[in-house]
Chain A
Amino acid sequence: MNVGLSDADLAPRIAAGDREAEAEMCRRMVPRIRLYGLRHLRSPSAADDLVQQVLLKILEALRAARLREPDKLAQFVLGTCRMTVLDLQRSSYRQEELLATFGGDLVPDPPPMPRLDDRRLARCVQALKERERSVVVMTFYDEQTAAETARFLGISEANIRVIRHRAIQQLRACMGATL
C-alpha cells in the first residue's frame, strides 16, 4: 500500500496516525540506520541498538508532526543518527523512557550481510602483487591508516590509496563482483 510512496509522502501520513506508513518508514530506514551504525560503532549489536534508539526518536517526532519539511526526512534521520551516536555514552534513561512508550516491536530484521567465500578470497589475495598484498594486509589487519602504511613503504599516502584502490578492484573482479 505505502511501498510506492516517497519518503516525503510517509511523514505526513505518520503524523496522521497511519500505522502502515510507520511500518513502511521503519522497513526503509532500518537498513540505512544500521549501516550508519556499523560504520561508526563497528559493532553489529551496537548498530542494532542505534537502530532502535533512532527509530524511536523519529517515530516520536513524526507522530507529533515535528518534522516541518517532510522532504527532509532522510536528513532528519541522518542527523538523529549522528546525535544518537554522540549521545551513546550518556544515561540510558531516555532510551528506556521511549521504549516504555512505543516498545521495540516496530523494528524489522535488517537485511542479512552478504556471505563471502573465504577460501576464494584467500586465493585472490595471494594472487595480488607483493606490494598490493602488503598494503591490503596492513590496512585491514587493524584498519591501519594510509599514513602508517606509507611510512613503511616509503611512499606517499596518495600512492597508498591508489595501490589499495587497485587491489580492491582486482579482488572484486577475482571474487566475481559485478558492481
Chain B
Amino acid sequence: MTTPHLGGPNDCPNPIEAAVLMDYWLAALPSAAEEAVEQHLMTCDGCGDRLREVIAMAEGLRALARSGSLQVVISDQFVKHAAETGLRVREYAPPRGEGVPCTVAADDDLLVARLAVDLTTASRVDVSWCDPRGIEHQRMPDIPIRAEAGSVICQQSITWAKASPSVTMIARLFAVDEKGDERLLGEFTFHHTRTIPGPPGWELT
C-alpha cells in the first residue's frame, strides 16, 4: 500500500482492498498493516469513502445478525453470549426421533433448535426441513459441524416463526458422502403452535 497523494479529494490510484478495510474495521489486522492503513486513510479521501461503505455494510450485518431473522447454524457459545447480552432466546431440543410442541412469544429475540446427533462419522452434513408428508421444503447443505460437538444448533428465523401459522416441521440431518449418498443421522419434529395474534398466516404446500 502506498500513499497516493498529499491531500485533496482525488480518486485513489492505489485503493485499499475492501477485504483489508473490513479487517481494519474489525480490528483484525496486524499492527504494522493497521498502521499502514491509517496513514493511507489520513491522506486519501477516496479510500475514506470506501471505508464508509465497508462500515455501513458491517453495521448492516451486525443489525441483521442481532435481528434473529436469519436461518443459520450457530455455536453453543454464540447462544450463551446472546442470552448474556440481553437477548431472549427460545430454545427447543427434542430427543432424536421424537417431537416437541413449540411456539414463540412476541418478545422472543432468537429461536434455536438443538439437534443432538453423532457427528463423529460424518464429513458433510445436510439439514433437510420437511413437512409431515415427507416433502422437503428447504435444505441447508454442508452445514458447519464440529465432530465432537454432539449436536447442531440451528437458528430459525424468529420473524418467520412469529408470522407462521400452526404447523409441523421435521428436521432431518443427513451425512452425505463423496458420491452424494445420504445416511440419516437423526430426525426431529417440531409442532409449532401460533400464539401471536396477527394477520392470517400461510399454508405449506
A residues near B, CB below 8 A?
A: 3-8, 10, 28, 31-32, 35-36, 38-39, 71, 73-75, 77-78, 111, 113-116, 118, 121-122, 125-126, 129-131, 133-146, 148-149, 151-154, 161, 164-165, 168-169, 171-172, 175, 177, 179
Report if B179 contacts A (CB, 8 A). Answer: no
Known: A7-B43, A137-B74. A130 touches B66 (CB 8 A): no
**Bound complex: CA of A161 vs CA of B22, how far in Å?**
11
In this complex, the member of B51, B53, B62, B64 whose beta carbon has the largest number of chain A beta carbons within 10 angstroms is B64
Interface residues of B in 44-59 (CB under 8 A from A): 45, 48-53, 55-59
Instruction: Please determine whether B26 and A116 come into contact, CB atoms closer than 8 angstroms.
Output: no
- A168 x B45 contact (CB < 8 A): no
Q: Is B78 a contact partner of A78 (Cβ separation < 8 A)? A: no
Residues of B in contact (CB 8 Å), total 59
Given A8-B6, A31-B48, A111-B52 in contact, is the A143-B64 Cβ separation under 8 Å? no
Minimum distance in angstroms from A135 CB to a CB of chain B: 8
Is the Cβ of A141 less than 8 Å from the Cβ of B62? yes
**Which A residue sits closest to B69, measured CB to CB?**
A122
Would A168 and B70 be within 8 Å (CB), given that A8-B6, A28-B45, A118-B64 are in contact? Answer: no
Given A31-B45, A77-B42, also A118-B56 (CB < 8 A):
no
Report which of A130, A141, A161, A164 forms a contact with B140, defined as CB distance below 8 A.
A130
Which B residues lie within 8 Å of A141 (CB)?
Answer: 62, 65-66, 78, 81-82
Check B132 for interface membership: any CB of A closer than 8 A.
no
Expressed in whole angstroms, the Cα–Cα distance for A136 and B39 within the complex equals 28
Q: Is residue B75 contacting chain A, with contact meaning CB distance below 8 A?
A: yes
- Given known pairs A114-B56, A121-B61, A140-B62, the reply for A154 and B42 (CB within 8 Å) is no
Q: Which residues of B contact A139 (CB under 8 A)?
A: 26, 61
Are A32 and B41 neighbours in the complex by a CB distance under 8 Å? yes
Let me know if A116 and B73 touch, CB within 8 A: no
Residues of A within 8 A of B106 (CB): none
Which residue from A7, A152, A172 sits with its C-beta under 8 Å from B144?
A152
**Contact at A134–B74, with CB atoms within 8 Å?**
yes
Q: Is B85 an interface residue (CB 8 A)?
A: yes
Q: List 23 A-B contacts (CB under 8 A).
A: A7-B8, A28-B7, A31-B45, A35-B52, A75-B42, A114-B52, A115-B56, A116-B56, A118-B63, A121-B60, A121-B61, A122-B64, A130-B72, A130-B141, A130-B143, A130-B144, A134-B143, A137-B78, A140-B62, A146-B28, A168-B57, A169-B18, A169-B19
Dominant SS among interface residues on chain A: helix
Chain B, interface SS category: helix
CA gap between A15 and B1 in the complex, in Å: 32
For the complex, give the distance between the alpha carbons of A112 and B156 in Å.
34
Q: Is the CB of A113 within 8 A of B55?
A: yes
Cβ–Cβ contact A168 & B7, under 8 A: no
CA distance A146 to B6 in the complex (A): 35
Partner of A137, one of B27, B49, B65: B65
Q: Decide: A74 and B42 in contact? CB cutoff 8 A.
A: yes
In the bound complex, CA of A155 to CA of B43 (Å): 38
Q: In the complex, what residues of A have CB within 8 A of residue B85's CB? A: 142
Contact A78 B38 (CB under 8 A): yes
CB distance from A35 to the nearest CB of B (A): 6
Q: Please determine whether A143 and B18 come into contact, CB atoms closer than 8 angstroms.
A: no
Bound-state CA distance A23–B72 (Å) is: 49
Contact (A175, B57) CB under 8 Å given A74-B43, A152-B146: yes
